[in-house]
Each structure stands twice: as structure tokens, then as C-alpha cells.
Structure 1
Amino acid sequence: MAESSSPSQLPNWLDWTRRLQAIAQIGLTYAQDVYDRERYEQIRELACEIAAQHTGGDAAQILALYAQEEGYMTPKVDVRGVVFNENEEILLVREVSDGLWTLPGGWADVHDTPSRAVEREIWEESGYEARAVKLLAAYDRDTQGHPPLPYSVYKLFFLCEVQGGSAQVSHETSEVAFFGKDAIPPLSLGRVNERQIARFYEHLAQPDLPTDFD
């Protein structure tokens, strides 16, 4: 049974932007007529203007972001490693980009399986060698209370066990540490939130809980 999650708080303008971008991207993938392609380019530009108006961003930069996407539009995949030590403390890394803490993880690469992707991210961001042992949760990011993004994301959280290594920072992380349940530091809310971490502690206490999913 899926764990219930908060309803999507996606603002209308972001929903419209994503839908217009999806129409444009799919159209540009399959359209052969040059005039049709021009129309799809115009739809993409309109989506970027809407996003820029509501975020204060630069439409050209948003267009460059969207232009990187090709093929049929699908959600991006974010993988996160949930690692506990023998004291039931959870592994967190401090992001250089915002100075806040998160579970190690990031975008899955096309040549990785999901489990290899999360193991690689843990190694790169924390210095620990880990093995993925269970998929704890598969969430639609929009249902989880994270700040909105221009695109849709699925978030995969894996329970992982340390196999070796030691705490090491990277170009993306400035600190690596384990924290107790009642001592969680300020979190990078675009990546993970307190409700999710609390849920993973429930999984730790009840190992037979099934995978959560939306």
C-alpha cells in the first residue's frame, strides 16, 4: 500500500509552463514540416516567458535549459541514499551550492542502474562505499512539499549499507556527518525534507514496511 503524501501544490503558472514545454518538446521530436517546427519553437518560447515572469528569471536562460531536453518528455530521476550507522544516526552531506544539508544523491545517469546511481552518488559526495539494499520510496516530487522546479521529477530513496571508505568532501559537498533523529540540521528543502527523513526512521524501526510510492 502506498504511503499517503501531501497533495501537489504546483502553482497554475508552473503547470502551464510544463505542459507547454511538453507539447513543444514532443512536437519538435516528431514534426517534419519546417513550419510546424517553427510553431513548436514559439510554444517553447512562450513557456519560457511565463516561467520568467513568475520567477524573475531570464527567459533566455530558461530557454537554454529547456532546449537541452530532447525526445518524448518524461520525468527526471533523482536518487538519494539513506544510510544509518550503528547508533541509528543518518548520513547527511552539506551542499556547497546552498550551505544546507541533504541525503547524498543527485540525478541518475543514463548508463547507471538506479542502485548503481545511488551508490555512486554516495561515494562521490561522502567518501563512503555503500550498497543499496532496499528501495524505501518512489515519490513524485510535486507531492512532497519541495520548492517547484521547471520540470517533473521522480525521487527514489534507497536504504544503503556502508561497505567501506571514510568521510570525504567533494566539489559538491563541504561537510559529511551522521546526525541523530532529534538533531537534524537545516535541510536543503529542494532535495529532502524533515517529513521524508522522519518516514525513513520509521522504516528503520520497522524493516518489513513496504516501499512507499505515489
Structure 2
Amino acid sequence: METKWLEWAQKLQAIAQNGLTYSEGVYDLERYKQLRAIATEIIANHSNVEHSYVLDLFSREAGYATPKVDVRAGIFQDDTILLVKEISDGCWTLPGGWADVGESPSEVVVKEVYEESGYQARAIKLLAVYDRDKQGHPPFPFSVYKLFFQCEIIGGSPSSSIETEAVDFFPENALPELSLGRVTPAQITRLFQHYRQPDLPTDFD
């Protein structure tokens, strides 16, 4: 129940965004703006985010509301997993980020691995497709689907980037502090299970 407010806000924002996209009546448009304002108030009042920031965030969304897509790479070496340290919060995560228009999910994850870790990789299996809101992450204004690919290194060498300050491999029982907005300990554990049991089917939901 503790994040029910987030679910309500996301649904209200989606209804408002869709209404503002497809409605033409002046009064209808005004009502959808009011719905967006309510969603903004819910987010602002239940988080440490400024009201104006949330409203600007929602106002920049246009078109039919759909979940955003985040792709992450699970790369294993000698029973350890590759993590990168984010400059933004000083915590560690799997290489990855938002999917880009014009690139397939596997192309995005390969690009993100290279940009954030310095390693050249190839995607070999889709391990999981998760709804972020059902995975124990901190609250986020928008609905997000998270795609986890198993990848293997085919070249390159470890290097930092404009987003990351360190690159290293860690065993499952000695993980550093994770960037929980990006990845959770439970997700890392599940990726190790996939690594050790290659015949496991892709997880979803």
C-alpha cells in the first residue's frame, strides 16, 4: 500500500496525457490539465521533489502515454558480474540506460556497455522483462519496463565515462552499494541464477 499513491499518480498522468493528445474541446482540455495538476500534487506531496519540477516533467510528455524502456546488461566473468559506478549518486549498477529511438533493445544495451564500461560486448539472451513498479525500486514518476540482457565481452578494456567513474567485477556475496533506482540486489541474484542455469526461461512481469 505504501506506493499506491505512485500508481494513482501515474494513472492520472497517463489519462491526462492521452486526453490532451486526442481531445479537441476547450473544456475537455481544461479538465485534463486539472487531472495532470492533481497527479503533480500527489507526486510532490509524497516525495522530496519540487512541485514545479514534476509539473514541467509531465508537461513535456506528449502523445499516447506508454511505459518507458530501460535496458541493462548482465556480464559475467569467473562467477562475478560487471558493475559500473555512477557519478550521479556514487553507487554501482549494471551498465545500461534508456532505450533510444531507432535502435533495437540489443543494440542499445551493447552501446551502453561500451559507453559506460569501455568493453565491447554482444547480447546473447534476454533474461528478464520487468515492470519497474513491481521490483522494489524507489518511486519514479513514470511507468518503466526494464529489460535485462545477458551479454558477453568481445573486446575493449575497462574505462570510465561522463556518467561512470569506475568499472569492476564483483562476486554475488560481495556486492558494493547499489544504485537502487537502477538495479536491486534481488535482480542481481536472479541474473546469477540465470547465469548458473542457462536453460531457465526468460522472466517477465
Decide: shared fold, TM above 0.5: yes
Is 2:10 aligned against 1:28?
no
Higher relative contact order (CA 8 A, sep 6+): 1
Q: 1:162 matched to which residue of 2? A: 153
TM-score (norm 1): 0.92
Q: Determine the C-alpha separation between the residues in 1 that align with 2:9 and 2:185.
A: 29
Match of 1:79 among 46, 64, 71: 71
Percent identity over the alignment is: 60
> What code does the residue aligned with 1:47 have?
A
Q: Alignment partner of 2:160: what SS?
A: coil
Q: 2:94 matched to which residue of 1? A: 103
Give the total of aligned pairs.
205
Of residues 46-55 and 125-134 in structure 1, the stretch that sits farther from structure 2 once superposed is 46-55
Q: Residues 141 and 154 of structure 1 are in contact (CA less than 8 Å); yes or no, is this contact kept in structure 2?
A: yes
| 5+ residue gaps, structure 1 | 1-8
Q: 1:62 matched to which residue of 2? A: 54
Q: Determine the C-alpha separation between the residues in 2 that align with 1:89 and 1:202.
A: 12
Q: Residues 76 and 152 of structure 1 are in contact (CA less than 8 Å); yes or no, is this contact kept in structure 2?
A: yes
Q: Determine the C-alpha separation between the residues in 2 that align with 1:10 and 1:126.
A: 36
TM-score (norm 2): 0.96
Measured after TM superposition, the shift of residue 37 of structure 1 is 1.4
| 5+ residue gaps, structure 2 | none
Deviations 1:134-159 (A, max 9, x none): 00000111111111111111110000
Measured after TM superposition, the shift of residue 212 of structure 1 is 0.8
Measured after TM superposition, the shift of residue 57 of structure 1 is 2.0
Match of 1:124 among 115, 119, 122: 115
Task: Kindly report structure 1 stretches of 4+ aligned residues shifted beyond 2 Å.
Answer: none
Q: 1:135 matched to which residue of 2? A: 126
